[in-house]
Amino acid sequence: MKTILILNGPNLNLLGKRQPHIYGHETLEDVERLCAAACDEGFEVRLEQSNHEGRIIDWIHEARETTCGIVINPGAFTHTSVAIMDALNTYEPPVIEVHISQVHKREAFRHHSYVSLRADGVIAGFGLDGYAAGVRRICRLASA
Ligand code: DQA
């Protein structure tokens, strides 16, 4: 079984409750279910969420030996974290960056992403469907 890591940054534990007019009413459990359903045969997903930058970096390091790709929604760390970008630069398999909201339609500080400097694909504004699209892309790349 090949494992795809679905990584979520700060405040995404409150998905479904947090600003539902922007992020919707579905929860991280719904994200996990959608991602599992999007996997090709022979793949599985593992979903993690943390409000702490260092924990996310540790998961990326661990993933180097154990996973075939990462789908990451870094939350606000997208716009601030050189350290998460550096960690992703130590990771060889595909990385897909996902944002539930259309960040380019929002405040200017959300238009820049450190993670995009590493990501192999970026999806924004597709709601939770963006995660499933990221999973499908990684299955495709990991099977090529
Ligand atoms: C987000 C967009 C970020 O700007 C924000 O800080 C988030 C969520 C999104 O999924 O749309 O926490 O990554």
Structure tokens at 30: 């719904």
Q: Where are the alpha helices (DSSP H) in the chain?
A: 20-23, 28-38, 53-66, 82-88, 129-143
- pLDDT for residue 144 is more than 90: no
88-99 pLDDT tens trace: 999 999 999 999
pTM, to two decimals: 0.98
Single out the residue of 133, 132, 138, 134 nearest to residue 32, CA to CA.
132
CA nearest ligand 1 atom 13, residue? 75
35-85 pLDDT tens trace: 999 999 999 999 999 999 999 999 999 999 999 999 999 999 999 999 999
**Residues enclosing ligand 1, CB less than 6 A?**
11, 73, 75-76, 78, 99-101, 103, 110
What's the distance, CA 92 to chain centroid? 16
Probe target for ligand 1 pocket from 100, 109, 112, 122, with the most ligand atoms within 8 Å of CB: 100
Confidence (pLDDT) at 24: 95
